[in-house]
Amino acid sequence: MIEVSPIVLAVAGAALAIWMGAALYILVTGMRMRRHSRNLRDQADRLAALLQSAPAIPMMVRSDGKIETPARLAQWLGRDSVPAYLSDLTGEEGGVTEKSRTGLHDDIIAAQRGAKPFTRTLKIENSDRTLLASGGASDAELANPGSALVWLFDISASQKHIEELESESVLLHEALQALSGLIEAAPLPIWHRNSDLRLSLVNTAYVEAVEAQSAAEVIEQETELFEVIDGLHPRDAAGVALGKNEIVTHVAPATLHGERRMMKVIEVPMGKSGVAGYAIDRQDFESARAEQVRLVASQRDMLDRLSAAVAQFGPDRSLTFWNHAFISLFALQPDHLMDHPEFERVLDRMREGGRIPEHRDFPAWRAERREWFRSPDAREENWLLADGTHLRVFAQPMPDGGLLLIFEDRTEQVQLSSARDTLLRVRTATFDSLFEGIGVFASDARLSLWNNRFRTIWNVEEEVLAAHPRIDDFMNMMAPRLAKPPQAGLVRELMRSCTVDRKQRNGRVTFADGRTFDFAAIPLPDGNALFTMLDVTDSRRIEQVLREQNEALAEADRVKTAFLANMSYDLRTPLTSIGGFAEMLKGGYAGDLSDMGREYVGAIIESTGKLSSMIDTVLDLTQGEAGTLPLERTPVELASLIESCRGRWAAAAAEKNIELVADIKPSAGRVMADDKRIAQAIDHLVENALSAVSNGGRVLLHADGQVQTARIVVSDDGPGMDAKQQARAFDRFSSVAGQRRGENLGLGLPLARQLVEAHGGKLTLISEPGEGTVLTMELPRGDLPRLSGSGSAQQSDSDSASDKTDNGD
């Protein structure tokens, strides 16, 4: 048996004791750590549950793009699962819109590489959900370097509310701008005082009223529009309105633009915001009211002087005014009228005096007249009194509900009408005894009066004339009896022109049996037209001599025209050759040209065109100065002529974006003129205006007329001309007209004036620098051609020459 020493046993016991103590310590420590681990796990579970229910979701994006985030993010993104990598999130199927994923990818990369924080709004595809991403570099304790931590918040409800607020803000801003613009544009002074009653806002009308430079100056200097208002300083008057907390109205004088005027002042309290106010100019209203009082007094004084009886009733049907003729006509006592009797009582008084028509049912008749007060239109009727007096009664309802009655004694007029019938019978007998044939056509072109000579000349039955045929129908029936039936249409047109233009027309007509008559269409004061016919068959021999002389003059005119035509040919021939060769060069007949060569050829063609136009203009000017300008006068409808010319101006106006307006009044009518020459003159005037007006300008062509003349006005809003330029505008080769039209010669306006003056008219110019130019062409109407000289296509040469002599041609 081995003996163990006590020392060994002691050491072994000590080691065992130490081991047991260590084991016990480890056991206690393990149990404590287990309890701590369980607590930490419970805390982690609670934090995970709290994080799961939180309105934000964390998303860790590691340096390799791997994403760590709760599964709840998949629901927000509208995906079946959470994206595993950043490329999945920012890809096409990541769940966010293209714009959002591009920006998010760039922001996360910047946070990973440069620790740059970011905040971005993300829109989810196919959803109204909006997310707010706020992120930056991840803490080193949470992840490896190069990772980014992004917190995602669901702000859909907040974003919608923000959009609604933004929309409401825009509407409020627009309303405020509109209100501010309205206040600023208001024609009456408007102001606002802050809580200490000092001016804080004024509009332009206020600034102009106090003759200040700006609103800031008015507010800075506290310039008041009124000196005092009801004995108080304007600030104190505003304080009264603010203290009462109600709108207060005052009437106070103010000096506006050096004139003392009465103003109505309205102060509107606005609580803590202060007081707003505005002023209305009542000076014109007060003046108008005073003027109305004077007008009523003057009107009544005038009515009192009328020979017609006048009575006025108020809205309550009481008599408010009467004149002396009313008392005299109806034999009324002034004392009875001073009590202002009602309408019915006045009718009763008039009946007692026998001054109204007799009726079986007078009350019903009176009730019908009482309805005059409520009638929307004026009433008129005739009264025949028992003593033979004829009264014309005019009842006018007044705007205030009253009634104005006017009684006109027409007894004398009825007697005059009877006398007129007698005079008409005398006139008819006188007409029948005249040698000339006479017919009177009414304003509606119907034959209303004729004598026996008229019926004999046309060889028609009395029954035909008694049907009062129109001039159109009558001349159509008579056409076969004329040597030239188309002349019937000319007679018809001359009669119509006489009726419309109120000017005498003359002509000659030849019957098939050889008789020749001069006729005249003469306008009468009552609007009718007198048609007279005189037998001039014997005077035809004298006319033949005049016709031969006229032919000799025409031959001389032809010689002159031939000379001018030859001269024009000699001038144009070289130009034609130059232009033709230039066109051939341009067309490549001489080979291809360089760019500069083509430019030179284009310049030659353009110059020859301009030179040809200048030659035409010079020739016209030369003929005009020599008095040889050929004119073929025919009836010209100015409206049709201008309309036919507009196409020539459209391209030039469109090229400069010029608004070209033509205002042709019906009164422009017709003139006896050469349509080509008048069109040429109008072209020059319009082209002058178009060349003077800058891009986007405006040119107006206006045409109207009077009885004797027609007027064409061409105006523009160009730079205008001073007095020196106006004095030289019509000079030949003047630089003024040339500059306005882009010409060197400046012949447009001089030629236009010669063309107008050749027709017996005149061309005037009015202009102001910076205000534009107005050119006015006045043309005489001239006599329309007579029937026998109206058209060479319907008459022989001899008749045409004679007719031109008769019409002053």
pLDDT for the residue 572? 67
- pLDDT band for position 785 (cuts 50, 70, 90): low
Q: What is the 3-state secondary structure (H, E, C) of 363-398?
A: HHHHHHHHHHHHCCCCEEEEEECCCCCEEEEEEEEC
772 Cβ contact partners less than 8 Å away, ≥ 6 residues apart: 715, 716, 717, 718, 719, 720
Cα three-residue angle 404-407-410, rounded to 5 degrees:
155
Q: Do the Cβ atoms of 752 and 763 come closer than 8 Å?
A: yes
Per-residue pLDDT at 744 exceeds 50:
no
Report pLDDT for 714. 94
Q: Is the pLDDT of residue 132 over 70?
A: yes
Question: Distance (Å, rounded) from C-alpha 712 to C-alpha 667?
Answer: 11
- pLDDT interval class at 25 (50, 70, 90): confident
- List, for residues 152-198, the tens digit of each pLDDT value: 887 777 767 777 777 888 888 788 778 778 888 888 898 888 888 88
Percent of the chain with pLDDT over 70: 88
Span 68-95, mean pLDDT? 80
Res 712: pLDDT? 94
Which alpha helices (H) appear in 693-747, and where do they start and end? 723-728, 735-741
Cβ contact 106:97 at 8 Å:
no
Q: How confident is the model at residue 798 (pLDDT cuts 50, 70, 90)?
A: very low
Query: What is the pLDDT confidence band of residue 806, given thresholds at 50, 70 and 90?
Result: very low
Q: Of 692, 681, 649, which is closest to residue 751 (Cα–Cα)?
A: 681
- Angstrom distance (rounded) from CA 483 to CA 330: 68
pLDDT, mean of residues 5-33: 76
User: Please, where are the H alpha helices in 248-361?
Assistant: 283-305, 324-330, 334-338, 343-352
- Both tokens of 647, joined, read 């196409």
Smallest Cα–Cα separation from 286: which of 260, 309, 266, 310?
A: 260
Mean pLDDT of the chain: 80
Nearest to 441 by CA among 491, 512, 477, 476: 491
pLDDT, one tens digit per residue, over 694-728 is: 898 999 999 999 989 999 999 999 898 888 888 88
pLDDT of the residue at 715: 93
Q: Is the pTM of this model over 0.85?
A: no
**What per-residue confidence (pLDDT) applies to 702?**
94
* String of DSSP letters for 474-534: HHHHHGGGBSSTTHHHHHHHHHHHHHHH---EEEEEEBTTS-EEEEEEEE-TTS-EEEEEE
Q: What is the mean pLDDT of residues 576-589?
A: 76
In a 13 Å sphere around the CA of 284, the CA atoms on its Cβ side amount to 2
Assign 797 a pLDDT band (cuts: 50, 70, 90): very low
What are the pLDDT digits (tens) for 155-164?
Answer: 777 767 777 7
pLDDT of residue 600: 78
Nearest to residue 104, comparing CAs of 78, 126, 134? Answer: 134
User: Is the pLDDT assigned to residue 131 strictly greater than 80?
Assistant: yes
Give the pLDDT score at 700.
Answer: 93
Q: How far apart are CA 732 and CA 745, in angstroms?
A: 7
Reported as a single tens digit per residue, the pLDDT across 255-293 is 877 778 888 889 999 888 889 998 888 877 777 778 878
Q: Which pLDDT belongs to residue 45?
A: 62
Please state, in angstroms and rounded to a whole number, the distance separating the CA atoms of residues 436 and 804: 24
Report the greatest alpha carbon distance in the chain. Answer: 200
Rounded CA-CA distance 638/667 in Å is: 10
pLDDT tens for each residue of 530-566: 888 888 877 777 777 778 888 877 776 566 555 545 5
Residue with tokens 């019938």: 421
Answer yes or no: is pLDDT of 788 > 60: no
